[in-house]
Amino acid sequence: MNDVEGSLLDPETLECPFPFFRRLREEAPVCFRPELRAYYVTRYQDIRTVKKRPDIFSNDIFEKGGMRSAAQAAAEAYRSEHGWARVSTLQRTDPPTHTLYRQLVDKAFTPRRVRTMVPYIEGVVNDLIDDFIKLGECDFVRDFATPLPCTVIADQLGVPRSEVHKIKVWSDAMLGPGGHHMDEAEALECARLVVEAQHYFAEVIEDRKRQPRDDIISDLVHAEVDGRRLDMHELQDLLDQLLTGGNETTTNAIGSGMMLLLRHPDQMRYLRENPDGIKNFVEEVLRYETPVLHLFRVTTQDTELGGVPIPEGSMLALGYAAANRDEAVFPEGERFDVCRHKAGAHLSFGSGPHFCPGASLGRQEMLSGFRILLERLDDIRTAVPDERFEHVPHSFLRGLRSLPIRFNARC
Ligand code: HEM
C-alpha cells in the first residue's frame, strides 16, 4: 500500500514536491504516509469524493484526530494559560455547526462586496508600487506580495495601518507549529506571539462592543449564532482563521505568480499585450503553484477511498497541489500555460462546504496586483544570478522566501 519511497518532508521534496506527487498519483493515489501519520490523497476525483461526505470525512481534526506533537501540545497549554485556548469553530467543524459560523464570514467577502472593493485594492497596490518603483529593484515577496494581503486584511478587520507589520508576525506564529518541525522552545515562542495577538484583539473586540464601526470585528461582535452572541474564545478563533487564511495564502500566490512570469517571459509578453488574459493567468498560477499543498480530514467510521480501506479515526491529507496536476482533469498538467482551458477547475480553494470564503478577495488582489504591475513595470527580470528560487520549508504551505527583481519604471 505504501511502497513509494521517500518522504514528503525531505528538504528536497519540500523545495519541489511535484515529482513526488506525480509518483504518488500514478503508483499509490491513496496511501498511508508515516511522515504525516495520514493517508495522502493525490487524485482529483478522490478529493471531490471526500468533499461530498463531511459526515465520513470530518474537519474536526483536533477533537477526533488527536494529531498534536509534544511541541504543539506545549504551545496549546501556553495559550490556555495566558490567552484563549483553541476552540472548534468554522474550519474545525462540520455541518450543521459549521453552517452557523460560515454564515457570519460569508457576509464579509461576497463577490459583490469584493467588486465594490476594487478601487480600494487598486489604491493599496499603487501605494506599494510607489514605495519601490524609483529604486528599479525590490524584493518582490517582502515589498509587494507580503504587504498587499496584510494591508487589505488589516483594513477589513479595522486594525490601524501602523500595526500592519504585526499582522504578518502574528499570522506566521499562528501557522508555525502546524507546518514547521519545531522544537518546544520554538513552538512556545509562537504561542507567546499568538497570545500577544489575542490580547490585542481582545481590546479591539471590547472597543467594538461599545462603539461599532464599519469593519468585520464589529460585525462578528454583534452577530448572533443560534440566538446568542459569540464568546471571546469563538471570536479569537475566527479572527485567527481570517488572519491566517487571508495572508500567507495570498502572499504565496502572488509571489509564485511573479516567479512564473520570470520563468516564462513569452507568457509575460502575451499578458502585457492581452491584459484580459490576466484573469486566466491568476487561475493557472493557483493551479500550478497551489499555495495550500494539503489540508487534513479525519474519518468518523471505517470507510474506503480509491479502493483503499481506511479505518475509523484515520487522518487524511487532501493533496490539493497534487490533484491540481492530475492529467485526468488537466491535460499536460505539469506545463504552465496562461491560456489553459478550464484552469479555474483547480482545487486550490478547496471545494464543498469549506470552500474558501476569501476566494473572491484573494483572486481580486492577484488580478489588480498583476494588472497594475504589468502596466507600471517594464522589463521585469530576476536580480539573482541563479534561476532557482528558494521556498520556505513548510509541510502544507508553499511560498517563496524572497524574490529579488529588477525592472524599468514605465510611469
Ligand atoms: C489565494 C488565496 C487563498 C487561497 C489559496 C486559500 C485557500 C483556502 C483553502 C484551501 C481552504 C480550505 C478549503 C477546504 O477545507 O476545503 C480555505 C479556507 C478558508 N479561507 Fe482561504 N484561501 C485564500 C484566501 C483567503 C482570504 C483572502 C481569506 C480571508 C480574508 C481566507 C479565509 C479562509 C477561511 C476563513 C477559511 C475557512 C473556511 C471554512 O472552513 O469554512 N482565505 N482557504
Task: Write the DSSP symbol of residue 397.
Answer: B
What pTM, to 2 d.p., does this model score? Answer: 0.95
Atom of ligand 1 nearest to the CA of 347: 10
Listed in sequence order, the DSSP H helices in 133-213 are 140, 147-157, 164-179, 184-210
CB count in 10 Å sphere of residue 52: 12
Task: Write the DSSP symbol of residue 391.
Answer: B
CA distance 55 to 59: 9
Secondary structure (3-state) at 149: helix
Atom of ligand 1 nearest to the CA of 354: 41
Rounded to 5°, angle at Cα 17 from 310 and 306: 25
Parallel, antiparallel or unpaired: strands 228-229 and 137-139: unpaired
Q: How far is CA 89 from CA 54, 115, 241, 341, in A?
A: 15, 28, 9, 37
CA 397 to ligand 1 centroid distance, Å: 12
Name which of 56, 104, 66 is nearest 352 in CA terms.
56
Place of cell 488537466: 330
Provide the pLDDT for residue 112.
87
CA distance 324 to 326: 6
- CA torsion through residues 202, 245, 117, 155, sign: positive
Provide the pLDDT for residue 68.
65
Is the beta carbon of 257 within 6 A of some atom in ligand 1? no
Is the beta carbon of 360 within 6 A of some atom in ligand 1? no
Provide the pLDDT for residue 180.
62
Q: Which of 234, 286, 349 to mutate to test the pocket of ligand 1 (most atoms within 8 A of CB)?
A: 349
Atom of ligand 1 nearest to the CA of 90: 40
Q: pLDDT at residue 1 above 60?
A: no
- 379: exposed, middle or buried (Cβ count in 10 Å: 0-12, 13-18, 19+): exposed
Provide the pLDDT for residue 389.
83
CA distance 289 to 298: 26
Provide the pLDDT for residue 159.
87
Number of H helices, E strands in the chain: 18, 12
Parallel, antiparallel or unpaired: strands 228-229 and 315-319: unpaired
Hey, which residues does 377 pair with through a beta bridge? 409
Q: Which residues contact 161 (CB under 8 A, 6 or more apart)?
A: 151, 154, 155
Is the beta carbon of 105 within 6 A of some atom in ligand 1? yes
| pLDDT band with cut points at 50, 70 and 90 for residue 313 | very high
Place of cell 478529493: 47
Span of 64-73, 77-86, 309-318 with lowest mean pLDDT: 64-73
Buried b (16+ CB within 10 A) or exposed e, 14-31: beebbebbbebbeebbbb
- Mean pLDDT of all residues in the chain? 93
| pLDDT band with cut points at 50, 70 and 90 for residue 19 | very high
CA 246 to ligand 1 centroid distance, Å: 7
Place of cell 462592543: 209
The 10s digit of each residue's pLDDT in 208-217 is 999 999 889 9
- For the domain covering 11-409, report its CATH number: 1.10.630.10
Q: pLDDT at residue 108 above 90?
A: no
CA-derived radius of gyration, the chain: 21
- Enter the C-alpha cell of residue 156: 477589513
- Enter the C-alpha cell of residue 345: 477547475
| pLDDT band with cut points at 50, 70 and 90 for residue 16 | very high
CA 249 to ligand 1 centroid distance, Å: 8
Is the beta carbon of 397 within 6 A of some atom in ligand 1? no
- Enter the C-alpha cell of residue 226: 443560534
CA distance 401 to 287: 20
Average pLDDT over residues 37-52: 96
Q: How far is CA 110 from CA 61, 92, 115, in A?
A: 27, 22, 9
Domain boundaries in the chain?
Answer: 11-409
Q: pLDDT at residue 2 above 60?
A: no
- 44: exposed, middle or buried (Cβ count in 10 Å: 0-12, 13-18, 19+): buried
| pLDDT band with cut points at 50, 70 and 90 for residue 72 | confident
Provide the pLDDT for residue 107.
84
CB–CB of 298/316 below 8 Å?
A: yes
| pLDDT band with cut points at 50, 70 and 90 for residue 62 | confident
The 10s digit of each residue's pLDDT in 110-128 is 888 899 999 999 999 999 9
